[in-house]
C-alpha cells in the first residue's frame, strides 16, 4: 500500500458500501498533471489533436463503468514561473491546449452512459451565448452534460481577452454569481413546461403551432455585469441545467460553491484538510437553504495499478523516472500566482494574498494544520507523484485504498488523474473496476441523465432546494 496512505489513521466508522462517483480527469492538451510523462513510450496524449483519440478514450471509460469525463481548461499560457511561458512550453506543461467543448459531440455519439464535465469560465463568456451552448450539448448527449464553473486565474488570459490584468479575486465570484443568476433564468424560467407543442394540425392557424408563444418568457435581466432582456434561444434540454461542478476553496470560492454547486472537486494537502473543506462547504450549503448533503464531493487521486502489488510498484518506479519537477513547479506557480523559480525546493511554503488560486496555496499553509510543507513535499513527494493522493497496488490494494481515502476525507468519489494516457485509465478499468463492482461501489448502468445517476433524488432536474428555483420573472413580460 502507498506510504502516503499508510500514514493516515483509519477511522473507527465503517466504510460505506455504496456507489462512488467515478470520474476521469484530463485536459485537451499535450500533458496535464503528469508532468514530464509525455516522454514515456506508452503515453499517447500527443494525439490530443485527433478526434479518434478522444472517441477511443470515451469508449474505454463508458465501457469501464466511469460516470464522467472531467475536462479541465485554461485560457492563457503559464508564464508566472520566471516571468515567461518558456518552462511550461519546453516541459509540455499544460501547453499547448485546445478548447474542450468541441470534443463532446463526437464522444457522445460513440457512448451511451458517460457524462462529460466541461470547464468554462464565467469571466470571459457571455451568459446568453453559453446558455445556448450547454443546452445544445445537453440535447445532443441526451442529458449527460456537466459544467465545471470556473472564474479563471491567469493574468495571461486576461491580457489576451481585453483586460490589462485579471479581475480581482473576489469580484470574479461576484460576476460569477450574477452570471449563474442569468443562466438559471434562461434555463429554468424562460421556457415553461409544454411550450413546445409541435402540433401540425392546430385548427387556429393554417400552418399549425410549433411553440406556444404565451409559454416563452423574456427574462428581463438588468444587473451590474450583464444585461439580458429577452428569452432563451433554445427549448429546454433533458436536464434543463447541466450538472454544476465547481472547485472553489477560498472563503469567497466556498461561498459560491455552497450556493451553486452540485458536485465539488475539493482539494486539500491531506485527508484532514479535505475533510475540513467538505464540512465547511456543507455548512455554507445549509446557510443557503440547501440540505447539507445535497452536494457530492470528489477529489483528485492518482492510481498506479496492475495484476499485483509488485507489478504496480514496478510501474510506479518507472513513471517516477520520467517525472519533471520543473514542470510541476511552473504549473503550481501559475496556479497560485507566485513565482517559485528562485525558491529552493526545501523552503517552506507560505501563504500570501494573490488574485489567483488562494486555496491552492492555503492548503499547504493551513492554520488548522500543524504540518509545514515545502515545495518538494507538496509537488515531488517521496511516495507520490505531484500534490494529489497517490495509491499504488493491485486490485484489492487499490480498492481498499480508495475506500479508506473516501472515508478519511468524507468524500463521494474520485477524479482519476492519469500518469500515462490512456494506459492509466485502461489499467484501472481492467484491474480495479471489477473489484469495485464486486464490492457494490459502482453505479448501475442504465438509461437516465447524468444528474439522475449521481443523485438519489431521482430527478433529471436541479434539486428543489437549489437557489435557482427561488428566482422569479415578471410574468407580464413575454417574448
Cβ atoms of residues 450 and 143 within 8 Å: yes
The more confident residue out of 346 and 138 is 138
Q: What mean pLDDT is predicted for residues 411-420?
A: 97
Contact predicate 256/242, CB 8 Å: no
pLDDT in tens, 296-310: 999 999 999 999 999
Q: For residue 388, what pLDDT is reported? A: 87
Instruction: Quote the pLDDT of residue 351.
Output: 80
- How far apart CA 349 and CA 27 sit, in angstroms, is 27
Task: Return the DSSP state at 103.
Answer: G
Contacts with 308 (C-beta within 8 Å, 6 or more apart), sequence order: 394
pLDDT value, residue 457: 75
Confidence at residue 155, expressed as pLDDT on a 0 to 100 scale: 84
> How many whole angstroms separate alpha carbon 24 and alpha carbon 11?
27
Residue 166 in domain: yes
Range of the domain at 447: 3-368+387-470
Per-residue pLDDT, 368:
78
Q: What is the CATH number of the domain that holds 260?
A: 3.20.20.30
Low-confidence winner among 125-139, 250-264, 347-361 (lowest mean pLDDT): 347-361
Q: For residue 6, what pLDDT band results from cuts at 50, 70 and 90?
A: very low
Q: Examine residue 479 and state whether it is found in any structural domain, yes or no.
A: no
Residue 374 in any domain: the answer is no
Sequence-separated (6 or more) residues with CB below 8 Å from residue 197: 209, 210, 211, 212
Angle between helices 169-184 and 127-140 (to 10 degrees): 60
For the stretch 179-207, pLDDT in tens is: 999 999 999 999 999 999 988 887 666 67
Place of cell 437557489: 467
382 lies in some domain: no
Locate cell 446557510: which residue? 287
- Site of grid cell 500518469: 419
> What pLDDT score was predicted for residue 7?
38
Q: What mean pLDDT comes out for the span 148-156?
A: 89
The residue with cell 525546493 is 345
Domain assignment present for residue 394? The answer is: yes
Smallest CA-to-CA distance from 281 within 313, 305, 253, 239 is with: 253
Query: Does residue 418 belong to any structural domain of this protein?
Result: yes
Residue 53 forms part of a structural domain:
yes
CA distance 24 to 300: 9
- Spatial contact of 145 and 116, defined as CB atoms under 8 Å apart: yes
Banded model confidence at residue 335, pLDDT cuts 50, 70, 90? confident
pLDDT-based confidence at 86, cuts 50/70/90? very high
pLDDT given for residue 206 in this prediction? 63
Across the range 360-372, mean pLDDT stands at: 77
Averaged pLDDT for residues 72-83: 92
Domain contains 476: no
Helix (H, G, I), strand (E, B) or coil at 119: strand
- Contact status, residue 392 vs residue 312, Cβ threshold 8 Å: yes
**Per the structure, how many domains does the chain have?**
1
Amino acid at each position: 500500500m502507498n506510504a502516503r496512505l499508510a500514514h493516515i489513521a483509519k477511522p473507527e466508522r465503517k466504510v460505506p458500501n455504496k456507489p462512488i462517483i467515478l470520474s476521469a480527469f484530463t485536459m485537451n492538451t499535450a500533458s496535464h498533471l503528469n508532468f514530464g510523462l509525455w516522454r514515456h513510450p506508452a503515453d499517447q496524449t500527443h494525439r490530443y489533436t485527433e478526434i479518434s483519440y478522444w472517441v477511443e478514450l470515451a469508449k474505454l471509460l463508458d465501457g469501464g463503468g466511469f460516470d464522467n469525463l472531467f475536462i479541465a481548461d485554461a485560457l492563457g499560457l503559464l508564464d508566472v514561473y520566471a516571468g515567461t511561458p518558456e518552462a511550461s512550453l519546453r516541459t509540455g506543461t499544460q501547453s499547448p491546449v485546445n478548447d474542450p467543448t468541441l470534443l463532446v459531440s463526437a464522444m457522445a455519439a460513440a457512448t451511451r452512459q458517460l457524462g462529460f464535465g466541461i470547464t468554462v469560465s464565467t469571466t470571459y463568456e457571455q451568459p446568453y451565448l453559453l446558455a445556448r451552448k450547454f443546452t445544445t450539448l445537453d440535447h445532443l448527449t441526451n442529458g449527460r452534460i456537466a459544467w465545471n464553473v470556473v472564474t479563471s486565474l491567469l493574468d495571461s488570459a486576461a491580457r489576451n481577452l481585453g483586460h490589462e490584468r485579471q479581475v480581482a479575486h473576489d469580484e470574479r465570484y461576484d460576476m460569477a454569481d450574477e452570471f449563474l443568476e442569468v443562466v438559471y433564468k434562461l434555463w429554468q424560467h424562460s421556457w415553461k413546461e409544454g411550450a413546445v407543442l409541435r402540433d401540425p394540425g392546430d385548427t387556429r392557424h393554417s400552418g399549425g403551432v410549433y411553440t406556444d408563444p404565451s409559454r416563452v418568457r423574456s427574462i428581463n435581466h438588468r444587473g451590474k455585469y450583464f444585461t439580458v432582456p429577452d428569452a432563451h434561444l433554445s427549448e429546454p434540454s433533458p436536464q434543463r441545467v447541466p450538472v454544476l461542478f465547481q472547485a472553489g476553496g477560498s472563503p469567497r470560492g466556498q461561498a459560491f460553491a455552497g450556493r451553486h454547486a452540485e458536485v465539488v472537486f475539493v482539494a486539500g494537502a491531506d485527508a484532514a484538510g479535505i475533510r475540513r473543506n467538505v464540512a465547511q462547504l456543507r455548512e455554507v450549503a445549509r446557510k443557503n437553504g440547501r440540505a447539507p448533503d445535497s452536494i457530492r464531493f470528489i477529489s483528485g487521486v492518482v492510481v498506479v495499478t496492475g495484476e499485483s502489488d509488485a507489478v504496480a510498484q514496478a510501474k510506479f518506479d518507472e513513471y517516477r523516472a520520467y517525472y519533471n519537477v520543473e514542470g510541476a513547479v511552473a504549473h503550481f506557480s501559475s496556479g497560485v500566482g507566485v513565482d517559485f523559480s528562485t525558491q529552493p525546493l526545501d523552503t517552506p511554503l507560505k501563504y500570501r494574498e494573490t488574485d489567483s488560486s488562494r486555496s491552492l496555496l492555503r492548503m499547504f499553509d493551513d492554520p488548522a494544520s500543524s504540518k509545514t510543507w515545502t515545495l518538494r513535499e507538496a509537488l515531488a513527494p517521496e511516495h507520490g507523484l505531484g500534490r494529489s493522493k497517490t495509491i499504488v497496488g493491485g486490485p484489492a490494494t487499490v480498492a481498499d485504498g480508495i475506500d479508506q481515502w473516501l472515508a478519511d476525507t468524507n468524500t463521494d468519489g474520485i477524479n482519476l488523474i492519469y500518469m500515462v494516457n490512456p494506459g492509466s485509465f485502461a489499467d484501472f478499468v481492467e484491474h480495479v473496476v471489477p473489484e469495485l463492482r464486486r464490492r457494490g461501489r459502482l453505479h448501475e448502468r442504465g438509461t437516465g441523465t447524468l444528474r439522475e445517476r449521481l443523485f438519489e433524488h431521482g430527478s433529471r432536474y436541479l434539486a428543489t432546494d437549489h437557489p435557482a428555483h427561488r428566482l422569479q420573472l415578471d410574468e407580464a413580460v413575454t417574448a
